[in-house]
Structure 1
Amino acid sequence: MPNSPSAKKALRKSQKRRLVNRANRSALRTDLKKARVAVEEKPTESADEVKTAMRHLDISAGKGLIHKNKAARLKSRLAKKLNAAVAAN
């Protein structure tokens, strides 16, 4: 346990940030899953879901929640999946 006042404050801050980051990461994963499912089920109508997921990825990368290269990789894979599904229909 922390002893100094500054260490106690740092612990409180890190616990709050952990909860915020956890919630944001969970929301990001949910958006990605919704986008993937939408692409598989209705490729022509899933553009909005994909756009929302990509926006959430950009925001998360900007805040440091995930690495920018991971965000770029996930966006690329999602776009690739969407384009393939649209071309197949």
Structure 2
Amino acid sequence: MPNIKSAIKRVKVTNAKTLKNNINKSILKSTIKKCKQAIATNDASAATILNSTFETIDKSAAKNVLHKNTAARRKSKLAKAYNAANKTK
């Protein structure tokens, strides 16, 4: 446990930021999972789910939860899967 006042504050701030990041990561993972499920089952609302997933990924990148390249890669992967699923229809 730190003794210096600024170090004590840093611990508090770090814990708060870690909690926020974990919540954002959890939301992100669950939306990606829902999107993959919708794509796999050829759900009619897959396009809207895909768009909302893109929004969530972009927001996570803006909040520095994800790196911008990671966000772009995940969006690309989901779009590719969606296009492949729609091509087979």
Tell me whether the two structures share a fold, i.e. TM-score over 0.5: yes
How many residues are matched?
Answer: 89
* Uncovered stretches (5+) of structure 2, i.e. residues with no partner: none
Aligned to 1:62: 62
Q: What's the offset of the Cα at 1:27?
A: 0.4
Structure holding more helix per residue: 1
Is the 1:61–1:68 contact (alpha carbons within 8 Å) kept by the matching residues of 2? Answer: yes
TM-score with structure 1 length normalisation?
A: 0.95
Equivalent-residue separation in structure 2 for 1:66 and 1:17 (angstroms): 14
Alignment of 1:1-89 (within 5 A): 1-89=1-89
Give runs of ≥4 in structure 1 deviating > 6 Å.
none
User: How far does the alpha carbon of each residue in 1:2-54 deviate from its partner, in whole angstroms, 9 at most, with x for none?
Assistant: 11111101100110111110011000000000000000102543011111111
In structure 2, what residue type is equivalent to 1:86?
Answer: N
Unaligned runs of 5+ in 1: none
> Alignment RMSD, CA only?
0.9
Aligned letter for 2:4?
S
What TM-score does the superposition give when structure 2 sets the normalisation length?
0.95
Secondary structure of the residue aligned to 1:39 is helix
Q: Distance in 2 between matches of 1:77 and 1:43?
A: 18
